[in-house]
Amino acid sequence: MEIRTPPPHAHEGFPTRPNSLSLDPLLIELLKKIPPTESGWPEAQRVRWFRTFAMNVSQIYDNETPIELEIKVAKEAAN
């Protein structure tokens, strides 16, 4: 049995493994959909993921009054 020491930035109350998070299972599944860094993540897919995540967080945590969010990509003006 291998015993692992948490990395130096880990602290009490902050899990070091995604599957140890105390979150709603739906949110965990959405987090698992994020592609590996080396795969890249096209802008349109990222925006869609953030919108989906925000909508589900609102569904889970907002009781009577959902929070309205607008998620969009801000384009820099061309020089």
How do residues 13-54 score in pLDDT, each as one tens digit? Answer: 545 555 567 889 999 999 999 999 999 999 999 999 999 999
Q: Output the pLDDT for position 17.
A: 54
Q: What is the pTM of this model?
A: 0.63
- Is 60 in contact with 26 (CB distance < 8 Å)? yes
Residue 69 confidence class, pLDDT cut points 50, 70, 90: confident
> CA 55 → CA 10, 47, 49, 68, 70, distances in Å?
29, 12, 10, 9, 10
Give residues with Cβ within 8 angstroms of 72, minimum separation 6.
47
